[in-house]
Amino acid sequence: MITHTAWHIHLRTIPVLPVSEMLPYLRLGSEGYDARLMAQHTADRPDEIAAWLSSSARYNSPNLGELIIHQQDVRRALGIRRAVPDEQVLWLLGYMMTSIGNVQAGGKPRDRITGLRVTATALDWTSGDGPEVTGPGETILLAAAGRAVALEELSGPGVAVLAEGMER
């Protein structure tokens, strides 16, 4: 799982194929596209991917959500902590509340937190109305992206509602 996720996010930094070459693979979904790129970049060594994982995701990119969320998936699984820069967390929290961001940033995060008042502690960010969920901004990103592992770092009566939404 870790190797596949690392490749999945690493491949988002490689220049994309021309649209004419990409369409057949996109019909297979992300897995097919990743498999094609993985086949083209087999020379990329695990140490190169590990070095890339220690760098910051590019700011203000449509892939920022995917990069941050999947990097944290890998880091947490390996017990490697890294604080995502506040400006990237704030940008992504705002982006995931937009229509396009709701689709691109982690599998409909806006839908998961609808009906909740979510507050990122230590950041100037609050969204919604309803039972409250509070916690670090990065943890809110992960929970909104459906990562149940993040729930234990959140507090408030809305956490139970958020957890129920992840089970559906």
User: What pLDDT digit, counting tens, does each position of 129-158 carry?
Assistant: 999 999 999 999 999 988 999 999 999 999
Question: Could you give the dihedral angle defined by the CA atoms of residues 69, 71, 72 and 76, in that order, rounded to the nearest 10 degrees?
Answer: 150
Question: Could you give the CA distance from residue 70 to residue 87 in angstroms, rounded to a whole number?
Answer: 18
Q: What is the DSSP string of 58-114?
A: PTT-TTHHHHHHHHHHHHHHHT---PPPHHHHHHHHHHTTSHHHHHHTTS-HHHHHT
Do 89 and 104 form a contact (C-beta atoms < 8 A)? no
Show the tokens assigned to 134: 């509070």
Question: pLDDT tens across 55-89, in order?
Answer: 655 544 556 777 788 788 888 888 888 788 898 89
**pLDDT recorded at residue 117:** 97
For range 94-114, the mean pLDDT: 79
User: Closest Cα to residue 112, out of 142, 82, 84, 146?
Assistant: 146
- Contact predicate 163/148, CB 8 Å: yes
pLDDT above 80 for 120: yes
Confidence at residue 8, expressed as pLDDT on a 0 to 100 scale: 62
All structural domains of the chain, each given as residue ranges with its CATH number in brackets, are 84-168 (3.30.1050)
Write out the DSSP string of 11-73. GGGSPPPPHHHHHHHHTT-HHHHHHHHHHHTTT--HHHHHHHHTSPPPTT-TTHHHHHHHHHH
Confidence of residue 126 (pLDDT cuts 50, 70, 90): very high
